[in-house]
Amino acid sequence: MYPVRRQISRHAARLMRERTDVEQIIWLAVRNRRLGGFKFRRQHTIGQHYVVDFACIEAMLVVELDGGQHNPTIDAPRTAFLEAKGYRVLRLWNNDGIDNREGVLETILSALLARTAK
């Protein structure tokens, strides 16, 4: 029996290889269900055109780590698309991921718990 492998786009594969320092810091904290037992995917493709930094499918939560290049006006259609698909988009600043890692992780965990509370 062969393991099932998730197909990723070339763009997502490139982003995985060229991850930023803050993406690496947060990934090490959330991978393997390390944050509240929730499973995350990194550089996850949603739809045909969008690759998100991190996604928790169980909680329908997308975490985007934004740097200076991110423009809310340009990101608005992307966020609207993701929200229309049922995801909550949590945008955090790159510098917070480095300077306030624990605060960022608390924010993510809080959003996960709010999304999964029944």
Reported pTM: 0.83
Residue 7 covered by a domain = no
Give tens-digit pLDDT for 9-30. 554 455 555 568 899 999 999 9
Instruction: Kindly tell me if the per-residue pLDDT of 96 is higher than 90.
Output: yes
Q: 79, 92, 18, 7: which is closest to 41 by C-alpha?
A: 7
Domain count, the chain: 1
Residue 6 covered by a domain = no
Residue 62 covered by a domain = yes
One-letter amino acid at 3 equals P
Residue 1 covered by a domain = no
The model's confidence at residue 84, banded by pLDDT at 50, 70 and 90, is: very high
| Contact by Cβ (8 Å): 12, 51 | yes
Is 1 or 116 the better-scoring residue by pLDDT?
116
Residue 59 covered by a domain = yes
Instruction: Kindly report the CATH number assigned to the domain that includes residue 99.
Output: 3.40.960.10
The model's confidence at residue 72, banded by pLDDT at 50, 70 and 90, is: confident
> Domain containing 44: what range?
20-113
Instruction: Kindly tell me if the per-residue pLDDT of 68 is higher than 90.
Output: no
Residue 9, pLDDT score: 58
Among 5-9, 41-45, 49-53, 109-113, the range scoring the smallest mean pLDDT is 5-9
Residue 70, pLDDT score: 73
